[in-house]
């Protein structure tokens, strides 16, 4: 898959899945704008992208703030002239607790980052994409956006919302030749998943190893997926090979039983 001469924005691109996605898009030929809250991690990822021979622009931005998002999109256009691909990856895990124990501020923060952030970023890049009649928007949700997920209500609801946003936007933008899809990972091995497991174990009063098996048992392959698995799927739907794929919620989940 070639992304040569393409310009991508990856939100939450400084670390974790976002970093892996940004590096994969760069390996496939794209120049990459990476946005996130922490300058140090953005600069580290930017160095890795430059080492691959691609151009990059690290931008400190909070996707829940409209001014930050508009400034990020403006800097991307000023630097590269256009935006071909938007990957809405920025997200937080939120609390692990029964709904009655979730604080309003916690709920609002998860929605603001995980869902409103995607809306703001899409709104910022769409006018130019529509004018050029070309563009790809790839949202990152979760299989948690397709199932009941006890003790994780803010996160799950934000991901259900991301899927709804994707399917709706695909219909709106399709007439302008813009493809909008959502990637739904299952449990992804790494530090972020470890935090979710530890939080759930603490809430339930159970060993972390037992809780980890809770996540693995529902997969056909009896394992978690990797950040690279997610990045590979993102790279595919962002490429010209997926020009006739839009409005789809595509799982990469080791066969998670929904």
List residues with catalytic annotation: 155
Separation of first and last alpha carbons in the chain = 30
Cβ atoms 87, 11 nearer than 8 A: yes
Residues 59, 34: contact at Cβ < 8 Å? yes
Measure the CA–CA gap between 98 and 204, rounded to whole angstroms: 11
């Amino acid at each position: 898959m070639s992304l040569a001469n393409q310009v991508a924005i990856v939100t939450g691109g400084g670390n974790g899945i976002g970093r892996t996605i940004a590096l994969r898009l760069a390996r496939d030929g794209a120049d990459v704008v990476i946005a996130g809250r922490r300058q140090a991690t953005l600069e580290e990822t930017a160095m890795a992208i430059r080492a691959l021979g691609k151009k990059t622009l690290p931008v400190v931005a909070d996707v829940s703030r409209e001014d930050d998002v508009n400034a990020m999109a403006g800097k991307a256009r000023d630097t590269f002239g256009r935006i071909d691909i938007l990957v809405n990856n920025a997200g937080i895990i939120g609390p692990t607790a029964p709904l009655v124990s979730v604080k309003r501020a916690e709920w609002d923060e998860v929605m603001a980052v995980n869902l409103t952030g995607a809306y703001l970023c899409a709104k910022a890049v769409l006018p130019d994409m529509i004018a050029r009649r070309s563009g790809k928007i790839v949202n990152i949700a979760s299989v948690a956006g397709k199932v009941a997920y006890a003790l994780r209500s803010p996160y799950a609801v934000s991901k259900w919302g991301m899927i709804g946003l994707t399917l709706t936007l695909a219909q709106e933008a399709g007439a302008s030749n813009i493809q909008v899809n959502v990637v739904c990972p299952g449990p992804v091995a790494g530090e972020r998943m470890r935090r979710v497991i530890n939080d759930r174990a603490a809430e339930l009063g159970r060993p972390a190893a037992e809780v980890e098996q809770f996540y693995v048992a529902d997969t056909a392959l009896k394992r978690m997926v990797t950040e690279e698995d997610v990045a590979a799927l993102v790279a595919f739907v962002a490429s010209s090979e997926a020009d006739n794929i839009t409005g789809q919620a595509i799982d990469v989940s080791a066969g998670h039983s929904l």
